[in-house]
Copies of this chain bind each other. A is one copy, B any other.
Amino acid sequence: MCVLALLSKGDNYAYDIASRMAEAVGMGEGTIYPLMRRMQNDGLVSTYLQESGSGPPRKYYKLTKAGAGALKSQITDWLAFEVAVRKILGDVT
Protein backbone atom coordinates (compact mmCIF):
# COMPACT_ATOMS: atom_id res chain seq x y z
CA MET A 1 0.00 0.00 0.00
CA CYS A 2 2.76 2.43 0.91
CA VAL A 3 4.64 1.73 -2.29
CA LEU A 4 1.50 2.22 -4.34
CA ALA A 5 0.89 5.47 -2.46
CA LEU A 6 4.40 6.67 -3.28
CA LEU A 7 3.88 5.82 -6.94
CA SER A 8 0.58 7.70 -6.94
CA LYS A 9 2.63 10.84 -6.40
CA GLY A 10 4.82 10.14 -9.41
CA ASP A 11 6.73 7.42 -11.22
CA ASN A 12 9.75 6.15 -9.36
CA TYR A 13 12.39 3.44 -9.39
CA ALA A 14 12.86 0.63 -6.90
CA TYR A 15 16.07 1.80 -5.33
CA ASP A 16 14.62 5.18 -4.43
CA ILE A 17 11.36 3.69 -3.22
CA ALA A 18 13.34 1.30 -1.06
CA SER A 19 15.34 4.19 0.41
CA ARG A 20 12.19 6.09 1.32
CA MET A 21 10.57 3.02 2.79
CA ALA A 22 13.73 2.19 4.70
CA GLU A 23 13.73 5.60 6.29
CA ALA A 24 9.99 5.64 6.96
CA VAL A 25 9.33 2.15 8.27
CA GLY A 26 12.67 0.36 8.24
CA MET A 27 12.00 -1.78 5.21
CA GLY A 28 15.03 -3.68 3.90
CA GLU A 29 16.28 -3.32 0.34
CA GLY A 30 15.90 -7.03 -0.33
CA THR A 31 12.18 -6.58 0.06
CA ILE A 32 11.52 -4.18 -2.76
CA TYR A 33 12.46 -6.17 -5.85
CA PRO A 34 10.30 -9.23 -5.23
CA LEU A 35 7.50 -6.87 -4.20
CA MET A 36 7.72 -4.82 -7.39
CA ARG A 37 7.80 -8.01 -9.41
CA ARG A 38 4.66 -9.26 -7.70
CA MET A 39 2.86 -5.97 -8.24
CA GLN A 40 3.82 -5.97 -11.88
CA ASN A 41 2.56 -9.54 -12.26
CA ASP A 42 -0.67 -8.43 -10.63
CA GLY A 43 -0.93 -5.60 -13.13
CA LEU A 44 -0.74 -2.88 -10.49
CA VAL A 45 2.32 -1.21 -12.00
CA SER A 46 4.02 -0.96 -15.38
CA THR A 47 7.68 -0.25 -16.08
CA TYR A 48 10.00 1.59 -18.39
CA LEU A 49 13.74 2.10 -18.49
CA GLN A 50 15.47 5.44 -18.28
CA GLU A 51 19.13 6.44 -18.28
CA SER A 52 20.34 7.97 -15.06
CA GLY A 53 23.75 9.57 -15.56
CA SER A 54 24.65 8.55 -12.01
CA GLY A 55 24.79 4.78 -12.37
CA PRO A 56 23.07 2.04 -14.32
CA PRO A 57 19.74 2.74 -16.06
CA ARG A 58 16.76 2.98 -13.76
CA LYS A 59 13.65 0.89 -14.09
CA TYR A 60 10.80 3.25 -13.40
CA TYR A 61 7.48 2.00 -12.11
CA LYS A 62 4.22 3.66 -12.98
CA LEU A 63 0.88 3.08 -11.28
CA THR A 64 -1.74 1.50 -13.54
CA LYS A 65 -5.48 2.07 -13.27
CA ALA A 66 -5.74 -1.28 -11.50
CA GLY A 67 -2.96 -0.15 -9.17
CA ALA A 68 -4.83 3.02 -8.33
CA GLY A 69 -7.93 0.96 -7.58
CA ALA A 70 -5.95 -1.43 -5.41
CA LEU A 71 -4.44 1.49 -3.54
CA LYS A 72 -7.85 2.95 -2.85
CA SER A 73 -9.26 -0.30 -1.50
CA GLN A 74 -6.13 -1.01 0.50
CA ILE A 75 -6.38 2.40 2.12
CA THR A 76 -9.98 1.69 3.06
CA ASP A 77 -8.96 -1.63 4.59
CA TRP A 78 -6.01 -0.07 6.36
CA LEU A 79 -8.08 2.68 7.92
CA ALA A 80 -10.62 0.13 9.14
CA PHE A 81 -7.80 -1.93 10.57
CA GLU A 82 -6.33 1.10 12.30
CA VAL A 83 -9.69 1.86 13.90
CA ALA A 84 -10.11 -1.74 15.02
CA VAL A 85 -6.67 -1.75 16.62
CA ARG A 86 -7.28 1.60 18.28
CA LYS A 87 -10.50 0.20 19.69
CA ILE A 88 -8.66 -2.78 21.16
CA LEU A 89 -5.90 -0.63 22.56
CA GLY A 90 -8.56 1.68 23.95
CA ASP A 91 -7.68 3.18 27.27
CA VAL A 92 -4.48 1.14 27.44
CA THR A 93 -2.77 3.74 25.33
Q: Within residues 9 to 67 of chain A, which ones have a CB less than 8 A from any CB in chain B?
A: 9, 20, 24-25
Is A5 in contact with chain B by the CB < 8 A criterion? yes
Select one of B1, B9, B81 contacting A25, CB under 8 A.
Answer: B81
> What's the number of copies of this chain in the assembled complex?
2
Select one of B24, B88, B90 contacting A88, CB under 8 A.
Answer: B24
Q: How far is the CA of A20 from the CA of B15 in the complex (A)?
A: 40
* Residue of A71, A88, A90 with most partner-chain B CB within 10 A: A88
Kindly list chain B residues whose C-beta atoms are within 8 Å of the C-beta of A70: none
Interface residues of A (CB under 8 A from B): 1-2, 5-6, 8-9, 20, 24-25, 71, 75, 78-79, 81-82, 84-85, 87-90, 92-93
